[in-house]
C-alpha cells in the first residue's frame, strides 16, 4: 500500500478541515465496511492454517501429547490447547481431557 498526496485527490477545504485535527501527520483512512475483504481471502493462509489445525487434532486423537505437538508445530502448548478446543467444538467429537500434561 502506497501513500497518495492529499493535494492530489482532496479539495483544499477537506484538507484544511483534516489539518484542524492532524496537522502534518500521516493518517490511515480505512475502507468502507462493504468493500472490506474477510481475513485470509487474498491468500491461502487461512486454508493452510485450517488444514494444520485439523492435522493437529487428528494427531492428538491418535495419541500425541500437547507438548509434542507444540514442539512439532513450533507453537506454545496454550496455542495447541486452543486449537484442540476449537476443533472439538467444530467436530462434535467427545474430547480427551484438554488439560496441560505433566
Interval 42-65: pLDDT, tens: 788 888 999 999 999 999 999 999
| pLDDT above 80 for 38 | no
Interval 68-91: pLDDT, tens: 999 999 999 999 999 999 999 988
Q: Which residue has the cell 500521516?
A: 26
Can you give the pLDDT at residue 96? Answer: 62
Angle between helices 77-91 and 45-61 (to 10 degrees): 90
Residue 102 to residue 100: CA distance in whole angstroms: 7
pTM above 0.95, yes or no: no
pLDDT-derived band at 102, boundaries 50, 70, 90: very low
Percent of the chain topping pLDDT 90? 57
- Considering only CA atoms, give the Rg of the chain: 23
Amino acid at each position: 500500500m502506497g501513500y497518495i498526496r492529499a493535494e492530489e485527490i482532496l479539495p483544499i477545504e477537506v484538507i484544511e478541515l483534516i489539518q484542524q485535527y492532524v496537522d502534518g501527520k500521516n493518517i490511515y483512512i480505512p475502507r468502507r465496511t462493504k468493500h472490506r475483504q474477510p481475513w485470509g481471502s487474498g491468500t491461502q493462509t487461512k486454508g493452510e492454517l485450517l488444514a494444520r489445525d485439523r492435522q493437529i487434532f487428528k494427531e492428538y486423537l491418535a495419541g500425541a501429547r500437547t507438548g509434542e505437538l507444540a514442539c512439532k508445530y513450533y507453537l506454545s502448548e496454550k496455542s495447541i490447547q486452543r486449537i484442540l478446543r476449537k476443533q472439538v467444538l467444530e467436530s462434535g467429537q467427545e474430547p480427551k481431557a484438554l488439560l496441560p500434561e505433566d
